[in-house]
Amino acid sequence: MDTLSSNIASACPLGFSNTGGEMFLRAVTTMIAAHCSIINNGEWPDDRTEEVIKKSNVGESYDFIIVGAGTAGTIVASQLSNINPTWSILLVEAGENPDILSEVPAFLFLNQNKKNDWKYKVKPNGKSCLAFEDNSCIWSKGKCMGGSSSINAMIYIRGHPQDFASWGKSWDYNALLPYFEKQEKYLNISDHDKVDDNKWYEIISEAWKELNYTSQKNQNYEAVIGTKRAKLLIKEGKRYNTGKVYLQRASKQMHIIKNAHVEKIIIDSVHKKAIGVRIRQENSKVFDVMASKEVVLAAGSIATPQLLMLSGIGPEHHLADKDIPCILNLPVGQNLQDHLTVPLFLKTNLDINLPSDAMDLYLLQYMLNRSGHLSTIGITDFVGFINTDNSSNQPNIQFHHMYYPKSNKISLKRYLDGVGYRKEIVDNVINLNNNYNLLGIYPTLLHPKSKGTISLRNKIPETNPVILSNYLEDPNDVQTLIKAIKFIHKLENTDNFKSLGIEINDINIKECSHHTFDTDIYWDCYIRHMGMTIFHPVGTVKMGDDDNSVVDFNLLVRGLKNLRVVDASVMPSIPGANVMAATLAIAQKAVDIIKLRYSQKEEL
């Protein structure tokens, strides 16, 4: 602190002289120190790379190796480390500690295409992502400690109970409920950090009420038809990173290695069991680490199937094409599902514009006490659920919301550029915003019929895989989204929306200009151009007991011993909500499965 004060004083010696100057110097120093404390690397466990290498060099193994320090992997590693004091645990992460952008809730849309992001891009299919550079949507996934819990929207919703009916009896909603409740108690999710002075919450809620939809308030964590403010993983004004939360409670026998890319799983092909992993560091040094009990893959729905296929586990014909010997012929990389969202921009005469110097004041407020608008995610936490056919109480559309004041200079362009829209699309939306205040409404397809694949580009581990999303391959998906847009028209006709002049605007997509605005064929074109991921890919290492599954109901790779998968890739079907809650529940249940397996062995 003294060094900091001296440096500040030397920049403006007269301004900080005498008693009054000392008081100002103390205030400025305190503010800067408060800013520095926003990100505290001491909150993350140390990198133990040198110890790991020494241990492997003398032939010592770990009991468990967990690949991926993300949402699921950190839970598994931390809790396993506290089950048995004799167990040694290694957690391997390809990235490093997240940076300051990750910590500030309001900056959540500034995390795309940064160092903490894998920066995946989907392969064009000619039917979707047509307004994006190269007709390819960007899929951001966390490449850092905490994984995607370091860059996501922090929204916690379990989904609807029916969402889990296809997962099998041991994984249905009733089976998962104790794990949802356990983590909610553990994380102490609450609403006390929320800023409640945003007019949009009441405006949107009242418009829905005019259409006879209930405001659910915060009565539960489920995806229920109606509106609600979702629970958020924010605490004391900062992102409540699940990785950080769980790893802070890990025992000392857990070692972590960062900036380390797992290239393959080492498999004993004779005995059909996983025995270790091959790791490449950033300096290109390669070494093997052995596991005496299990290797647990928690690298996510893209990296986990990629790693399995690089290790010889996957579709036989595909592995042969990449010159990789096939150890197990399994449908790895199939069954890919994701939530597609379509941004709609509605002009409004409600002006909640901020003075030009307001952001500076908000920054100062946040630096000092982690409060104010930077401690929230705006109205992104306000969600609505409908079933477009009124055929079930299980929603098939979720609505998210954002507000962009006229001539927004802070977030809109960065957001549009960050997700990858073409320049002319970005310019069109910005020009619209220069003339109007905009309410963004984002209908999101919860149960897509279209499914994609993950496949290898080549057998080089550092190369990103081929992601074929197959968005909108099934025409039913387009029709469901068109029905969602027609629901927004119903909102336009409510007294609440009409009083504020809220109506959908045409953003003049040239490829759609030959269609009459607001016709079904126009919206078909619009959806195929503007539809984008909401960053929820799942299902690529499907759990089950049929020929289309890769892991069994204990999450073990079928036909192989000691290799388990614990992340969103095992989901047989995608939950109808933000998928973080379900991923956490999978990890919690996996810990109990592992604990039971080895307690039974030790009893024998």
Q: Is 262 annotated as a binding residue?
A: yes
**505 in any annotated domain:** yes
In a domain, 293, yes or no: yes
Same domain, 321 and 433: no
Collapsed DSSP state (helix, strand, coil) of residue 217 = coil
- Partners of 122 in the β-ladder: 467
Could you tell me if 407 and 494 lie in one domain?
yes
| DSSP letters spanning 77-142 | HHHHHTT-TT--EEEE-SSB---HHHH-GGGGGG-TTSTTB--EEBPP-SSS-TTBGGG--EE--B
Is 321 inside a domain boundary?
yes
Instruction: Tell me, yes or no, whether 260 and 361 share the same domain.
Output: no
Q: Tell me the per-residue pLDDT of 359-395, one tens digit each, with 9 for 90 and over.
A: 677 777 888 788 888 888 989 999 999 999 988 899 9
Q: Copy the structure tokens of residue 482.
A: 């068109």
Q: Do 408 and 269 fall within a single domain?
A: no
| Exposed / middle / buried, residue 430 (Cβ in 10 Å: 0-12, 13-18, 19+) | middle
Q: How confident is the model at residue 40 (pLDDT cuts 50, 70, 90)?
A: low
Both tokens of 326, joined, read 């096939």
CA-only gyration radius of the chain, Å: 25
Q: Give the C-alpha separation, 221 to 230, whole Å.
A: 8
Q: Specify if 503 maps to a domain.
A: yes
Q: Round to whole Å and give the CA distance between 474 and 228.
A: 30
Return d(Cα 320, Cα 586) in angstroms, integer.
Answer: 32
Average pLDDT over residues 531-536: 96
Burial 459-491 (b: 16+ CB within 10 A, else e): eebeeebbbbbbbbbeeebbebbbbbbebbeeb
Q: How far apart (Å, rounded) are the C-alpha atoms in residues 212 and 581?
A: 28
CA 547 from centre of chain: 29
CATH number of the domain enclosing 304: 3.50.50.60
Domain annotation covers residue 382 = yes
| Most distant CA atoms of the chain, gap in Å | 80
| Boundary (domain end) residue, out of 511, 530, 549 | 530
Domain limit, last residue, from 487, 508, 530: 530
- Whether residue 390 is found in the same domain as residue 256: no
The region of weakest confidence among 77-91, 214-228, 379-393, 551-565 is 214-228
Looking at the predicted structure, is the pLDDT value of residue 467 above 90?
yes
Which residue spans within 446-527 are E strands per DSSP?
Answer: 453-455, 466-468, 503-504
Beta bridge partners of 402: 440
For the chain, give the percent of residues with pLDDT over 70: 89
The DSSP output letter for 538 is B
Quote the domain boundaries for residue 387.
190-232+340-445+472-530
Residue 3 has pLDDT above 80, yes or no: no
Distance, CA of 517 to CA of 497 (rounded, Å): 20
Contacts of 356 (CB under 8 A, 6+ apart): none
Identify whether residues 421 and 377 lie together within a single domain: yes
Regarding whether 399 and 499 lie in a shared domain, the answer is yes
Which position has the higher pLDDT, 538 or 365? 538
- CATH classification at residue 491: 3.30.410.40
What are residue 261's DSSP bridge partners? 280
Mean pLDDT of 513-517: 96
Domain count, the chain: 3
Q: Identify each DSSP E strand in 359-468 by its residue range.
A: 382-386, 397-404, 437-445, 453-455, 466-468
Domain co-membership, 354 together with 435: yes
pLDDT of residue 169: 93
Is residue 266 located within the same domain as residue 393?
A: no
Q: How far apart are CA 504 and CA 345, in angstroms?
A: 6
Q: Do 352 and 406 fall within a single domain?
A: yes
Question: How confident is the model at residue 17, as a pLDDT?
Answer: 62
Is residue 477 in a domain? Answer: yes
Considering the domain architecture, whether residues 259 and 211 belong to the same structural domain is answered as: no
Domain annotation covers residue 345: yes
Tell me whether residue 249 is in a domain: yes
412 with 513, same domain: the answer is: yes
